[in-house]
Amino acid sequence: MGEITLDPRSGTVLRAAVERYIQSGEAVGSRELNRDGLPFSPATIRAVMALLEEQGLVSQPHTSAGRVPTSRGYRAYVDTLRQEDVLKTPSLSLEPTTSESLSSRVRACVRAMATATGLVGFAVTAPRDDQRLRHIEFVRMGRGRILALVATEVGVVHHTLLRLEIDYPSSELSRFQDYLCERFVGMTLRAIRAEVHRELDTVRSRHTSLGTQALDLSRQALPSATAQVEVHFGGQHHLLDHREFQHGDQARAVLEEIERRETWISLLDAMLDATGTRVFIGAENAAEGLHECSLVATRVSVDGGFDGTFGVLGPTRLDYRSTIGVLAGVSALVSAVEAPAGASKDGTSNEATKPLNLGDDRSGRWESQ
């Protein structure tokens, strides 16, 4: 979908129509917009609405009805929002929790977002692939069982219990870990995974037993890009508060989609290069089950070597201005969450009139600075 360009009058009418529809949920007519204070005559508004319909920004459900925004219309509206348009919202506060673990604080943040917006809150967290290896160690736990410890420079320790057909003695395990540390200490986990795949082909072709066995162990020990992704969501009952989901089939499709782990891993990938808040509207969502939804998300780096995507989802007819305002406070709130050093993962701009930075990809994302 190409960039949408509107003249000032068309932009004013579209914005008024979108905000009226968000508020009322009823098709919007020219006389209503005129009564709301739009500085154009009903005849002029009707003419502009007809042009907007030709551009696919609004549609007319019935011949005698007013117009409603399309997903493309919502996109044009969101793309024109400026920092001064985003509604200031009270700071989010977390409910007291009995645990100070990363997971419990993240869940508390999800509940706070869902309550503040009346939408479904979610968070997806994963270890950062740019963490650098500090040490790898193999500890023999018994016959055919090895505890693999992978420590990164930020103090995160990943531990995996490996069950093997071969019963390696402790002396052999020491040789393996020395080999791996010599080759990979200081490299990022992402680079190591790629190098291991290449090296395995190389050492196998040369019949290098030590290298083959050590790399096979490291392949199993290194945390995969997706295996340690954690997904949290809450406030699903809010869906039923919106008329778009008051029919069981519509709500069921969304609920089934948000329970699919792949949905959130795809979102995490889509947000890898994000520097602010992004909005995905309708079919801009990769998951087909969310094509009737809008998703507002922000990427947060959490102390302790973890990245997260936090946000909310609801119908395309959601209050974007206030929702974006709520998400603006999430980064500071979540950034205060700190994973304890050495522990495993288990244990807004002040330039009010400045346009929002949409980056180079305007095909489905609102990005604040």
Break the chain into its structural domains and give their ranges.
8-79, 87-128+229-335, 133-221
Predicted confidence at residue 105, as pLDDT, reads 80
Q: What is the CATH number of domain 8-79?
A: 1.10.10.10
CATH of domain 133-221: 3.30.390
Residue 209 confidence (pLDDT) above 90 = no
Q: Is the pLDDT of residue 186 over 80?
A: yes
Query: pLDDT exceeding 90 applies to what percent of the chain?
Result: 37
309 close to 299: Cβ distance less than 8 angstroms: yes
pLDDT tens by residue, 239-256: 989 988 987 788 888 999
pLDDT tens, residue by residue, 129-152: 777 889 999 999 988 888 999 988
Residue of 175 and 357 predicted with greater confidence? 175
Give the predicted TM-score (pTM) of the model: 0.72
pLDDT at 2: 60
Count Cβ atoms below 10 Å from residue 166 Cβ, excluding itself.
9
State pLDDT tens for residues 94-128.
666 655 667 788 888 899 999 999 999 999 987 77
pLDDT at 27: 93
Q: Which of 7, 14, 119 has its CA nearest to residue 75?
A: 14
Residue 72 tokens read as 């493309």
Q: What CATH number matches the domain at 87-128+229-335, 3.40.640.10, 3.60.15.10, 1.10.645.10, 3.30.450.40?
A: 3.30.450.40
